[in-house]
């Protein structure tokens, strides 16, 4: 059901990223290219890693997870930051999302990583409920900040 992404999966991953952007009501923000994804996933210095969920019966790809290592100064160990997790609507409820998260948890355990983190949109109640059901807890009291585009360029030019 879950396998490691391969270079031939890059077009599929890009399609799934665009589907996720549509679901999250931000299709205009999904501007990654095939070349960019190939480089970060499979270039000389891969910094992002991927998993593909496939339907057990048909072998059809139905979802994906992209992640990268982060680091906790407080714990002194690496962790996983789950950038994207997406399962196509037609395959939801089939255990693919849990299988993706389970495989990421296994990676953490095997490698001695101390945590796995991700963000979820406040309005995405189905996902929030699912995450709580597997024991994940929200980081109340923390806000995500982001610099992009003109603000990033302006600060970087100082």
108 and 68 Cβ atoms separated by less than 8 Å: no
Question: Under DSSP, is residue 58 helix (H, G, I), strand (E, B) or coil?
Answer: coil
Active site includes 113? no
- HSE, CB side, 13 Å, CA atoms: give it for residue 31: 3
Where do the H-state alpha helices sit in the chain?
Answer: 10-23, 34-42, 96-111, 125-133, 149-157
Cα 122 to Cα 88: distance, rounded to the nearest angstrom: 20
Phi then psi for residue 136, to 5 deg, are -75, 145
Structure tokens at 47: 């910094």
88 and 98 Cβ atoms separated by less than 8 Å: no
Annotated catalytic residue within 81, 86, 113, 131: 131
As annotated, the active-site residues are 131
């Amino acid at each position: 059901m879950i396998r490691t992404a391969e270079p031939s999966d890059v077009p599929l991953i890009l399609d799934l990223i665009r589907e996720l952007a549509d679901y999250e009501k931000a299709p205009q923000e999904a501007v990654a290219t095939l070349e960019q994804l190939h480089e970060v996933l499979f270039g000389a210095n891969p910094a992002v890693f991927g998993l593909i969920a496939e339907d057990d019966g048909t072998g059809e790809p139905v979802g994906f997870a992209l992640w990268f290592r982060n680091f906790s100064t407080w714990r002194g160990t690496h962790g996983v930051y789950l950038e994207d997790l997406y399962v196509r609507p037609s395959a939801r409820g089939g255990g693919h999302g849990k299988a993706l998260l389970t495989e990421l948890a296994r990676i953490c355990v095997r490698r001695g990583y101390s945590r796995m983190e991700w963000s979820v949109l406040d309005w995405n109640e189905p996902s929030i409920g699912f995450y709580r059901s597997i024991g994940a807890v929200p980081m109340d009291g923390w806000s995500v900040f982001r610099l992009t585009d003109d603000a990033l360029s302006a600060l970087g030019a100082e």
